[in-house]
Chains A and B, each alone.
Chain A
């Protein structure tokens, strides 16, 4: 069974631009969560989607948004990029996102904002 895939793996953007990242969960998984990883702040939760509905959202500004499609694939968008948005963005999938369930992580998209 294929793992979680994220595209693209690397991105370089300039301040003010916007970016869209994609995540394809493991087949059959309906929940997708997104995390931002930086050296200073560590792993921070962005949002979680289940069956095309956002179930939870972290403490990030409105420039960060996401969506989930009927095939469970998810995208996140960051508008008006800032230097501080440079990070590794990780996507994780699970069947139902129930509390004890294992989340399976993709390799991440590394975003550099210049």
Chain B
């Protein structure tokens, strides 16, 4: 079975500082990996996804993530955050080889950007 661990439930960071949100997954098969963002009172929006190819994935709003198969990680990074990045971030995994299993989400990391 697949699982996702987001190592930090809350991450405070000053505006214009860099940030890394950590995500580790557990799967015995190949995976697809996703990062979603949820702003207050809204649904989830896809930031980026890794399906195959280059392990460095660039997404919207200046975010990027790196797939590391040996460490089973998919950490999300941004070099300089803005107040508007304050939101909850979810890492998710699915597998191309496991039938109709759905997306499995981590518990989320609440990013708070401080002015």
Contacts and interface: CB of A to CB of B under 8 A. Distances in A.
Interface of A: 4, 33, 35, 42-43, 45, 48, 55-56, 58, 90, 92, 99-100, 102-108
Interface in B45-78: 45-46, 49, 51
B100 A56 contact: yes
Contacts of A45: 102-104
Do most interface residues of chain A lie in helix, strand or loop, or is the interface mixed? strand
A107 B105 contact: no
B95 to A, nearest CB: 7
Contacts of B44: 90, 92, 105
Interface in B13-71: 32, 36, 41-46, 49, 51
A42 B39 CA distance: 15
Contacts of B104: 45
A110 to B, nearest CB: 8
A42 B105 contact: yes
Nearest to A9: B41
Nearest to B36: A105
B43 A90 contact: yes
B90 A99 contact: no
Q: Which of B36, B94, B100, B102 has the most CB of A within 10 A?
A: B102
A103 B105 CA distance: 13
Nearest to A90: B43
Contact of A100 (B32, B101, B105): B32
A21 B41 CA distance: 17
Contacts of A42: 105-108
B96 interface: yes
Contacts of B105: 35, 42-43
Given A45-B103, A100-B32, A100-B96, 17 more contacts: A33-B102, A33-B103, A42-B105, A42-B107, A42-B108, A43-B105, A43-B108, A45-B102, A55-B100, A56-B102, A92-B44, A99-B32, A100-B94, A103-B46, A105-B36, A105-B43, A105-B44
Nearest to A50: B100
B100 A108 contact: no
